[in-house]
Structure 1
Amino acid sequence: MVVKLYTMDLSPPVRAAMMACDIFSVAYERVEVNLLEQEQMKPEFLKKNPLHSLPVLEDDDLILHDSHAIMMYLADAYGMDESWYPKNNKKRALVNQKLFFDTAILFPRLRNVTYSIVNEGKKNITQKMLDSIDEAYGFMEAFLSRSTYIAGEDVTIADLSVVSDISSLAYILPIDAQKFPKTLDWLRGLESQPCCERYNNPGAAELGQLLKRFQESNSSAQIE
C-alpha cells in the first residue's frame, strides 16, 4: 500500500513531516486538504483524525496524526541513518525533549497569532504575543549556546520540527541578530538545506503573506 500524507504547505507541522519523508526517502501520495475551506471538517477526514488537524499519515493500516509522532515513526520505520533519531537512550531523550518543546512552546505561540488573525479577524498582533515569541527565541538561544543543533551536535528530526515553526515565527517577529545570533545562524543554516528549500521555505513565506493579507482585510477564515 502506498504511504499517504495529508498536507497543506501553510502548516508548519506538515512541512516538518514532508522534510522527514524527504530525509528518509519515503515515497508518498500527497493528499491536499484545504484548511481555509474547512476541508478538515469533512466526515471522511474526521474519521482519520477527530482532531481535524494536519498532517495525517497513512501507512497500510496505520493512521497517525501529529507531526512529531509521524516523524518518530518515519525515522524508526524507514530511516537508515540513526543520527536523525538516535537509538541511544540518552541522545534520543534529548531529541524527544526538544520535540516536546516545539509542541508546548513554539507551535502554541505561533498558533495564537494565526488563530487571532485568521479565525477571529483581528488586525493587530498584540505586544503580549510578540513578547512571547521573543521569549521563545531566548529559549532557542540558550539551547544553541550549548550545542550546534537544537538537541546536540548532530542535526535531528527535532531541528526539522523546530525550524518549521521558527521560520514561520520569523515572518511575524524577525529574529534580532544582536540578541539571538546563534538562533539566526542556525535558522539560516537549516534554511539552506535542500529539504528545507523544497518543503519548508516556500510554505513559511506563503504563511507570512497570508497573515499580512488577513490583517489588511480583517477576514475570518480558518487555519491550523
Structure 2
Amino acid sequence: MLRNDKRDTQLYYTPASGPCRAVMMVAAALKLKLSLKPINLMAREQYHPGFLKVNPHHSVPALVDNEFTLSESRAICIYLVEKYGRTDALYPKNPKTRGTINQLIYFDMGTLFKRMYEYYIIPFMTGTAQDEKQLESLNEAVGYLENFLSDKKYLVSYRLTIADLILYATVSTIEAFGFDFTATYPNITNWLETMKDAPGYDQNTEGIEMLKSFFK
C-alpha cells in the first residue's frame, strides 16, 4: 500500500509526458504517494506566474517536496530513491552498478530521448516533414539499447532499477509513435513484455493513450 504521512510531495506534471511518467513509475516503485498537480501544456499553463515560481524553466515535471523544489525528471527520480528508498534496490550503491545505471540515464537524456524528440515531436510541433536521416539516427540509438539488453532480463542486473523505469518511459513513447520493435529488436521486445509487470505500468499506459490522442 502507498505510504501516507504528513509529508507533502507535489508533482507538477502532464500524463502524456515521458519524463513525467518516469517520475510517476519511480514513485510507484517506492510506494510513495504524490500530490499530483496537472499542468496543461496546450493551454500554456507552464507559463503561469504561479508555476514559474515553482520552475522558472517552465517545464514539467517539477517536484516540490515540502519546501524543496527540483526540476529535470532524471534528477527527480534519483532524489526520490535516495531520500525515500527503504533499500538501495532501485539505485544500488555498488559503484559499478550505479555507474552503469548513470550511464544509461545519461544515454536516455542525451541520445535516445533526444533523437526521438527530434524525429517525432519537433516535426509535429513545427508542421515540418520528418527527416529520414533523423530516423536513421534514432534507429542507431535503439540499436545501442538492443545490444545493451543482450542476455539480460533488465537493463543492469537481475532486478528492476531506475534505469529500467526511466528508459521504459522513453521507449514506450517511441512505440506509441508507431515505431515497430518486434521485427528487428528482439531483446527490447522481450524487455517491453517484462516491463508490463513494473510498478506504475498502468499509469504509464494511461499517459501513452493520452499522447496518442494528441497525435491522431
Contact kept, 8 Å, 1:191 with 1:201, in 2: the verdict is no
Contact kept, 8 Å, 2:13 with 2:38, in 1: the verdict is yes
What do the CA deviations read for 1:28-54 (whole angstroms, capped 9, x no partner)?
211010111111111221222122111
Contact kept, 8 Å, 1:3 with 1:57, in 2: the verdict is yes
Residue aligning to 1:114: 121
In structure 1, distance between residues paired with 2:180 and 2:149: 14
In structure 2, distance between residues paired with 1:36 and 1:191: 29
What do the CA deviations read for 1:57-116 (whole angstroms, capped 9, x no partner)?
111121011111111111111112311100112211111111111110121122222122
Contiguous gaps of at least 5 residues in structure 1:
214-224
Greater shift in the superposed pair: 93-102 or 186-195: 186-195
Q: How many pairs align?
A: 209
In structure 2, distance between residues paired with 1:207 and 1:130: 20
Structure having the higher helix fraction is: 1
Residue aligning to 2:4: none
Say if 1:194 and 1:155 are closer, same or farther in 2 by CA, change over 3 A.
Answer: closer
Residue aligning to 1:95: 101
> Which residue of 115, 135, 143 corresponds with 2:140?
135
TM-score, scaled relative to structure 2: 0.90
SS at match of 2:11: strand
Q: Offset of 1:207 from its aligned partner?
A: 1.4
Q: Offset of 1:208 from its aligned partner?
A: 2.7
Contact kept, 8 Å, 1:8 with 1:34, in 2: the verdict is yes
Contact kept, 8 Å, 1:6 with 1:33, in 2: the verdict is yes
Runs of 4+, deviation exceeding 3 Å? none
How do residues 51-90 of structure 1 correspond to structure 2 at under 5 angstroms?
A: 51-90=57-96
In structure 1, distance between residues paired with 2:97 and 2:59: 29
SS at match of 2:89: helix
Q: Offset of 1:173 from its aligned partner?
A: 4.1
Greater shift in the superposed pair: 8-17 or 50-59: 50-59
Contact kept, 8 Å, 1:151 with 1:158, in 2: the verdict is yes
In structure 1, distance between residues paired with 2:161 and 2:81: 10
Residue aligning to 2:205: 201
AA partner of residue 200 (structure 1): N
> Which residue of 22, 44, 48 corresponds with 1:42?
48
Say if 1:21 and 1:195 are closer, same or farther in 2 by CA, change over 3 A.
Answer: same
AA partner of residue 109 (structure 2): T
What do the CA deviations read for 1:130-176 (whole angstroms, capped 9, x no partner)?
22222121011110015332223321111101010101101224234
Quote the sequence identity (%). Answer: 33
TM-score, scaled relative to structure 1: 0.87
AA partner of residue 158 (structure 1): A
Contact kept, 8 Å, 1:133 with 1:169, in 2: the verdict is no
SS at match of 2:36: strand
